[in-house]
Chain A
């Protein structure tokens, strides 16, 4: 989700996150109840049509297709062997349409908006000891760790190549893990340094923000 959000001002961007989630659940439920391949074809056209209607390029749908292609091949092959090829196509298309619809949500919704929704949804669980702020912070950090892992692998791979050792082997796993542990310590320090280890909204600000003072002055 690091780079998935596409800035925009379409009706789908403006639609509330809760409504989008509800629509996603209803559509995927209806999709799974559609038995015929023709029905699925109609859903596919509907999902694809939503992309340009939301101001999004169809290249996202194409990338999704390419990303899922290996899974489709395996699913169709297994279903053909055990049931029928039609069953394989039905499952694969169900999967593709569901991911397309879910993609619309992530492409038009900022992570902070999704985290705010999770927090609201988890609020009733607070009485049972669930801390909605911590859950959403963990979700944010999970998303945030994707570039961290990618960077750690990239640096270790480059260091390996720079020493003329040829193609990086499994031996870069150790430096990658060491780097990740060090990075996670740094991220932990940054969270503590920004006062985010507990929900900042629970604290009363001790004074008016300085830039607000500047403005009023």
Chain B
């Protein structure tokens, strides 16, 4: 469970998070909001990638500010660009890197890597260059490499942005089957309909917190209202 209390953060003079207070305990939680709304900044504070100016984040009681490494052990993080998450040259080596902390012998390490690759449909690519995989395969590798470290919570920051429909469905299907608590940041609203909770972040604040279908309806309404307020671009300029 993640507890967020009185969280505030600024980038220079620009306030990005205002007084966020949340208890995140549901199994699958969606964070939605426009570009620049502050949802990614909020997500990055949850595993200590960003230490907020004010307030505290507790992961199962572990203070992210005081024990960022321990917090990161508990909270896995996936980025939208899978390429940046790959560290080792081959698929099996990248997954194997995450197993280091379990201090397995060589044989056990091979077995574990093989099991994980099979689970995520990557067994045929074990010895292939990780950077030459397709976008969908890279994202599955990134997921496998994070999950192999056994985090209790998984944060996915727009992981499906660069994927085609088939891979989006595959990815969603995979995270549906996870035992871990999942916090998903996304712009693809249809994939969060069956989530347990959805939070809309707008201008650095919690704008709505409730059931996903309600959140989707409110969010669409918010976007419509905002579009009406914005004067349309003259046709001749747009062309």
Contact = CB atoms under 8 A, between A and B. Distances in A.
Contact of A205 (B44, B96, B102, B132): B102
Nearest to B77: A193
Interface string B96-117: 1110111100000000100110
A3 B49 contact: no
Contact of A2 (B76, B84, B131, B145): B131
Contact of B49 (A140, A192, A196, A205): A192
B85 interface: yes
A6 to B, nearest CB: 9
A200 interface: yes
Interface in A158-217: 183, 186-187, 189-201, 203, 205-207, 209-211, 215
Contacts of A191: 87
B88 A144 contact: yes
B179 A192 contact: no
Interface residues of B, number: 42
A191 B98 CA distance: 11
A111 interface: yes
Nearest to B82: A190
A183 B81 CA distance: 10
A194 B146 CA distance: 6
Contacts of B90: 5, 110-111
B150 A205 contact: yes
A147 B179 CA distance: 34
Given A1-B89, A5-B89, A7-B127, A189 B101 contact: no
Contacts of A151: 83
A192 B103 contact: no
B87 A111 contact: no
Contacts of B218: none
A50 B76 CA distance: 45
A53 interface: no
A49 interface: no
A110 B97 CA distance: 13
Contact of A211 (B87, B119, B127): B119
A1 B86 CA distance: 15
Given A206-B73, A211-B116, A143 B100 contact: no
Nearest to B84: A186
Contacts of B56: none
A95 B49 CA distance: 46
B202 interface: no
B89 A209 contact: no
A66 interface: no
Contacts of B129: 2-3
Interface in B31-79: 44, 47-49, 69, 72-73, 76-77, 79
B134 to A, nearest CB: 15
Contacts of B48: 192
A9 B198 CA distance: 50
B186 interface: no
- A141, A143, A210 — most chain B CB neighbours (10 Å): A210
Nearest 5 A-B pairs (CB), nearest first?
A200-B101, A186-B84, A193-B77, A7-B127, A112-B93
Interface of A: 1-3, 5, 7, 110-112, 140-141, 143-144, 147-148, 151, 183, 186-187, 189-201, 203, 205-207, 209-211, 215
27 contacts: A1-B89, A2-B131, A3-B89, A5-B89, A112-B93, A144-B88, A144-B89, A187-B87, A189-B79, A190-B79, A192-B48, A194-B72, A194-B76, A194-B85, A194-B145, A194-B146, A194-B149, A195-B69, A196-B87, A197-B69, A200-B100, A201-B100, A203-B73, A205-B101, A205-B102, A209-B102, A210-B150
